[in-house]
Every structure is written in C-alpha cells, then in structure tokens.
Amino acid sequence: MGISYYIDGKLYPKEEAKVSVLDHGFLYGDGVFEGIRAYNGRVFRLEQHLDRLWQGARTLMLQIPLSRDALRKAVLWTLRENKLRDAYIRLVVTRGVGDLGLDPRKCPRPSVIIITDTISLYPAELYERGMEVVSVSTRKNRTDALNPNIKCLNYLNQILGRLEVNREGAPEGIMLNQDGHVAEATADNIFMVLKGILVTPPAIAGILLGITRETVLELAVKEGIPTEEKLFGLHTLYNSEECFLTGTGAEVVPVVKVDGRTIGAGVPGEMTRRIIKSFRELVQQEGTPIDG
C-alpha cells in the first residue's frame, strides 16, 4: 500500500491528491503551514506547531475549518493510516477555492491538507563533517511588510535566496536583514558560539521563531550552556568558534565554513556535538503518541 495524503477529511493516494487551480493558496500563496516531525511513534512538539498555525491563521483572518482537537486527531490518523512511525508532516491550511480576484471573501471554505511522508534534507556525512554555506545578496523581507512569524505559503523571499545558493553549489545560504544583520538561513535558523556563549539572532532580526530553535535554547539551559539572543553581522559570524543551523527538516546541522572562511577548527565543535546529542535523545522520548 502506498502513501496517502489527507485533503478535507479524506485520504487520497499520493498520485491522486490534488487541489483546485482556483484555490487561493495556489493562486496567491494565501494560507499557512507547518512542517512537523514524528520520531519513534511520537509527533514532536505537535502542540507548539498547532499554536503557531492558529496564530498565523488568526493574523490572516483565516478560519481553520476544524477544531484544534479534530485537527490533532486528523494528523495522527493520517500517520496511522500510512503506517508511519518516523515521518515528516506538512500541515497546510489554504484560503480555499475562490475566483480569479484577490478578495478572500470569495473563498467560502478554507481547505486542510495533511501530507505525511519521509524526508532527508542533507546526507548523513554532513552531520559528521559539517557543511560549507554562503551568504546571499537577497535580503529578508521587512517585518513591517510581512511578519516572518506568519508561516505562510508565500516563500518567494526564501526561494530567491535559494537560487543564489544553488548557483554557488552550496547546501544552504545565510540571509541578512535590511540592516545587514545576520537573520537566518533560507530554510533554517542559525546559531554560533562566541567566547563560549551560544548566540542566535533575536526576533527583531526578522526571523521565524522556529520550534527547533526554541528547543535548542531549552536544551542549552539544561546543559549549562550560556545563551544570548543578539544582533550580529557576517564579520562576527566569520570569527565565531562554532556554528550550526536548526530546523524541523534539518534538525541540528553543523557549519564549518561560511563564504570560504573556516569556522573555528573547521570541524563540528564540542558544543555543537553536545546539542546534537541532546536533541536526538529528546526527540526519541518526547511527543504526542501516534497510537493515542
């Protein structure tokens, strides 16, 4: 039996799962989504992802057509039906079918889509030896134009950055904000170690407050690692002792070179390895059981 995807209460074989060409999510990027992971039969931090989904939908005045409990059950049911214990979950709420005009009022019912499948963003060896990344010229959107914590379906800003990354042949790229401060990677948050302190850009840098980012900050406290959220530029990043990226898909991946500058000793540092170990242990133990 192949993988099936959930669309508005029903499961469809992967090859037959479709949305209307008049869905405003397709036409205009009008919708919200979450990328979630399941490990060892548990969905990691599902409640935090649902919190962010509802917050983004509220700001967009997008009424999710299921209760929170019903949506939670739909996610777990889809995983069970696909017999997945370790999975990537893409939870999407679109504005729904309307007309070719922009007016959201023409979309009477939003649509809920749940994709459960497997994912592997980076080869395993990158987690051992670390990756080399580049900075890109595409700047992050201004936060007064589009709040980065609305995890919406419009990802053109990140895609423009990704095009530069692809041109350079790198696995990921660092994006700066309008003031030239390091914000985040095209698909991940960023951390560095500077003088023994774990540092990450703050919300005012124009970043998505990632669930994995928050998890790493919590783990650092438990590990006795001092942390700080502050603005910094590329010069500071080039001279850091360690660097790593975090994201639902990427998890925690070391960075050993930025724009050709070697970070620290050029190998994943001791603090990075501690965080990776703690994160991997946590995700195997914590989460909402798929089997209820």
Q: At what angle do helices 211-222 and 46-59 cross, to 10 degrees?
A: 140
3-state SS, residue 102? coil
**Beta bridge partner(s), residue 198:** 193, 227
Quick one: tokens of 90?
Answer: 């893409």
Rounded Cα distance between 265 and 134, Å, is 18
- Which residue is associated with the tokens 């989904």? 53
Quick one: tokens of 221?
Answer: 């406290």
- Which residue is associated with the tokens 């001279």? 239
Quick one: tokens of 3?
Answer: 């993988």
Rounded Cα distance between 21 and 203, Å, is 35
Active site residue 151: yes
CA distances from 103 to 30, 97, 108, 113 (A): 11, 11, 11, 22
Rounded Cα distance between 127 and 82, Å, is 28
Rounded Cα distance between 164 and 169, Å, is 9
Rounded Cα distance between 38 and 249, Å, is 11
CA atoms within 13 A on the CB side of 92: 24
Of 151, 222, 257, 277, the active-site residue reads 151
Catalytic residues: 151
